[in-house]
Every structure is written in C-alpha cells, then in structure tokens.
Amino acid sequence: MITFLASIVLLVLGYIFYSKMVEKVFGIDDNRKTPAYTKLDGLDFMPMSWAKGSLIQLLNIAGLGPIFGAIMGALYGPVAFIWIVVGAIFAGAVHDYFAGMMSVRHGGDQYPSIVGRYLGTTAKTIINIISIILMILVAAAFTAGPAQLLSSVTPLSFTVAIFIIFGYFLVAALLPINKIIGRIYPIFGAVLIFMALAIGIGLLFQDQPIPNLTFENLHPQELPIWPLIMITISCGAISGFHSTQSPIIARTMKKESDGRKVFYGAMIVEAIIAMIWAAAAMTFFGNTGGLQAMLAEGGPAGVVDHISKSMLGTLGGILAIIGVIILPVTTGDTALRSSRMMLVDLLRNFWKLEAKWKQSLLAIPVIIPTFYLTQIDYSFLWRYVGWTNQVVATVMLWTAAIYLLQKGKFHWICSIPALFMTGVVGTYIFYAPEGFSLPYPVSVGIGIAVTTIVAIWFIFQMRKAKLVQLEQKQNVA
C-alpha cells in the first residue's frame, strides 16, 4: 500500500517540479504565434483550449494502452511501480513534451519531419515508413479487440462489427478535428480518468493489501525484467506512439505555455492510470500466479471486466464495456488520422495537396491495410506493436537531444533516457521470439554493444556542436 501511494505522490511531484525544469530548458515564448493561428485551415489547424486539448491528448495517447500494458506488466510484481514512476517522469513525459513542442516550433510538423530536421533525410525516410507501419498496427490491434468483444455481447458478427468501426474511422478521419474529436473525446477522456479513480479508491478498501516494493521478479514464467517490462508497459511509462499523436494537438495550441499542461501533464495522468491498474491486477487475484490464470482465461479485457464488475457492480460493467470497446477505437481513429497527416507531408513534394478533399482521401490508403490486418491473430499484432513503438520513442528522444545540443541547452534530460531506451530496444529485438530469439546473455551483450556504438556517435555529435558554437562566437566577435 505504501509503495503504491508513494508512487502516486512521486508522479504528482514530478509534474509540479520536473516539468517546470523541462519547460525552462526548452524555453517557451508566448509571444510566438502558434500554428493554430499561422496555419488556420479549418481541418487540422485551429485554436483549442488547453483543458480540452489535454483531455483529447490523454485519450489519443492512452485508450487502453495504460490499462492492458499495466495489467501485463503487473505479472512482474511491484517492480512495475518503479518503471512507471521513473519512466514516466524522466523519459515518457519528456518525450511527449518535446514531440509536441518541437512540432509547435516547426509549424505543426509531423514526427518524421521533425526527425528529418535533426537526424537527416535518411532517418526521416526510414522513420516515416516505421511510423506509418506503427499507426496501421496500432489501429488494427485496437480494432480487432473491440470488434471481438462487441460481437460477443451483441447479436453482431465480428465482420459486421469491423465494418461499423471502420465506418466510424472513415468519418472521424475525414471531418475537421473540432467536429467529432473536439466534441466527444474530452468526454471519453473524463470517463477514462473516472474509471481509474473509481478502481483506485476501491483498492484502498479491499481486504487484500496492495503489495509493497520488492525487487524480486514475481513473473510466473520467470521472464527477465530487463528489457521486457519496458516493452510491456509502454503507455504509462514511455511510448513512441505518443510522438505521432502530439502533433495533432500541437496544431491546436493557443500558446506555448500550454505545452507543459497538455503534453507533460497528460503523460503523468496516464502514468497514474497505469499505476492504478497495475496495482489492481497485482492485488485482486491474490498473486501473480492468479493474475496469470485470469489472463489465460480472458486476456487483459477479461481482467478489466472482472475487476470492474466485482468492485463497481453494474456501473463497473458499463464502464468496462465503454473502456474495452470505445477507448481503443478512439485511439485507432487518431492513429489513422496521424498516418493520413504523415502521408500528406510525405507526398506534398510530389502531389499538390492544398485542397482539403485531397488530404482527406489519403485516409483510404491506410484504412485498407489496417482492415486486412484485423483479420489475423490479435496477439501477433500486439507483439510487433511493442518493439516498433519503443524504437519510435528512442528515435524521438535522440531527435530532442540533438535539438537541445544544437541550441546549446542542457541536452542530458533527453540524451540519458535516449541512451537507456537504446539499450532496451537493442536487447529486446535479439531476445524476443518475434526478433532473433537469441539466448538472454547473448542478447544483453549485443544490446550493450549497440548502446555503446550509439553513445560514441552522440559523443561525436557533441564535439561537432561545440565546434559550430565556437565558430559562431568567433564570427560574432
């Protein structure tokens, strides 16, 4: 219990104090006109209040991510609390802040365009492809799951449910952001928060106490904590998907000082939600063995449904249905909206795209492969989402580090977590079954080697930046 409550307090303190440091390092300027005004187009660029923007940002980045991921991560035991707190404050929220604010500074640019500015054209092309693939994978994974549940609780077949969801996707992707997303998403964001708070308060009055901190690996299958927990719990700690979503709200911000509340703040709220569901999963079934058995029976959706109904009764059942069906759908549609925006930026040099109807039509090329992927195994999709997601996060952190380096600012707030995440993804792909399936010691060794190579590259970038800054000072003198 103490560990859980202390973790919540630390997350709040992280927002109060560390977010201000991050904001100071970035250097906001409320006298600058934001893209919401300079590029007002009635589709993606339009002013929106920070309160509404924060709730939309939360729903865009969260959905069921901090719930399902936290439940799976709870299998490792209370050590998951450490990763959520440290990851969210020093990596995830920093990542989200720079993804959003760098987009604001660069006219609402999408994530791949920002990468290209600081890591080069080749990196931009590669990350553009990876990002669009991630968007399609996320949209497919967050469509297949809700469709399966919808078909199980209604007379609708799985295929009909898929068509209904995709019909909504098409409408949401084509309409201006203030027509659907701006109106109903704040409501769903509030539902996500209410659902988590209700479960969190209920946990405090359960007979079974929330376990306190132990560094022991409690995973029933004895899977290694490093680097698996960092891939399993992404939303709630750090998630590359967020860097593809932040530009959506960056195009609606009224002033730069709203960024701390919108981007850093939404990530901390998501971390608190993840903390609550991780604690619930650890507590409700007695131990991680009991949680494993429940996951084997009904998956994460079954865990959510069981906990919600048991703790909140009929209301819990309604919230569970809303959560497991509606929330991932709202994440899926913004994923497709982001992929449409990325395609617009990618094809702008080859096709005149000033007309809004042409931009809207680019939703179709990403909806078609997404629809196809919903027909294959959900667990297969989710395995590939995890690693791709954290590669995107790692690249965003390095992009932010280079940005700060070139500006002569305190880059360590981005470069240290970037180096850490390089080790995570470098180790995971060689160890994981969807990767090379190498022995664990070998995979760790390769991960260390990859991290060392990237660290050497960054040292050269530091020297290069110092030389440029020295030349600039000499020219001024």
pLDDT tens for each residue of 199-219? 888 888 887 888 888 888 989
CB 124 within 8 A of CB 116: yes
Q: Give the per-residue pLDDT at 356.
A: 55
Q: Report the chain's mean pLDDT, rounded to a whole number.
A: 86
362, pLDDT greater than 90 = no
Which of 61-70, 377-386, 460-469 has the highest mean predicted lDDT (pLDDT)?
A: 460-469
* Domains and their CATH numbers in the chain: 2-377 (1.20.1740.10)
Provide the CB-side half-sphere exposure for 356 (13 A, CA).
11
Q: Give the per-residue pLDDT at 183.
A: 75
Q: Give the per-residue pLDDT at 351.
A: 61
CB 371 within 8 A of CB 166: yes
Which of 18-27, 232-241, 332-341 has the highest mean predicted lDDT (pLDDT)?
A: 18-27
Among 45-54, 205-214, 275-284, the minimum mean pLDDT is found in 205-214
Angle at the Cα of 340 from the Cα atoms of 335 and 343, rounded to 5 degrees: 125
Q: Between these two residues, 299 and 377, which has the higher pLDDT value?
A: 299
Task: Return d(Cα 30, Cα 382) in angstroms, integer.
Answer: 40
In this structure, the dihedral spanned by the alpha carbons of residues 65, 439, 429 and 230, taken in order and rounded to 10 degrees, is 30
Q: Give the per-residue pLDDT at 130.
A: 85
126, pLDDT greater than 70 = yes
447, pLDDT greater than 60 = yes
Distant-in-sequence, close-in-space partners of 265: CB < 8 Å, separation ≥ 6: 15, 19, 54
**Cα–chain-centroid distance for residue 183?**
22
CB 430 within 8 A of CB 438: yes
Q: Give the per-residue pLDDT at 429.
A: 93
Among 76-90, 362-376, 424-438, the minimum mean pLDDT is found in 362-376
Express as a percent the part of the chain with pLDDT over 70: 88
177, pLDDT greater than 70 = no
**Cα–chain-centroid distance for residue 28?**
23
Q: Give the per-residue pLDDT at 255.
A: 96
7, pLDDT greater than 60 = yes
CB atoms within 10 A of CB 15: 21
Task: Return d(Cα 362, Cα 104) in angstroms, integer.
Answer: 23
340, pLDDT greater than 80 = no
Q: If you compute the radius of gyration of the chain from its CA atoms, what whole number of angstroms results? A: 22
Q: What stretches of 82-127 adopt beta strand conformation (E)?
A: none
Mean pLDDT of 179-203: 79
CB burial readout 173-203, b (16+ within 10 A) else e: bbebbeebbbeebbebbebbbebbebbbebb
Q: Give the per-residue pLDDT at 380.
A: 62
CB atoms within 10 A of CB 86: 18
Task: Return d(Cα 145, Cα 328) in angstroms, integer.
Answer: 8
Express as a percent the part of the chain with pLDDT over 90: 47
64, pLDDT greater than 60 = yes
154, pLDDT greater than 60 = yes
Q: Give the per-residue pLDDT at 281.
A: 94
CB 88 within 8 A of CB 251: no
Tokens 């249905």, residue?
A: 321
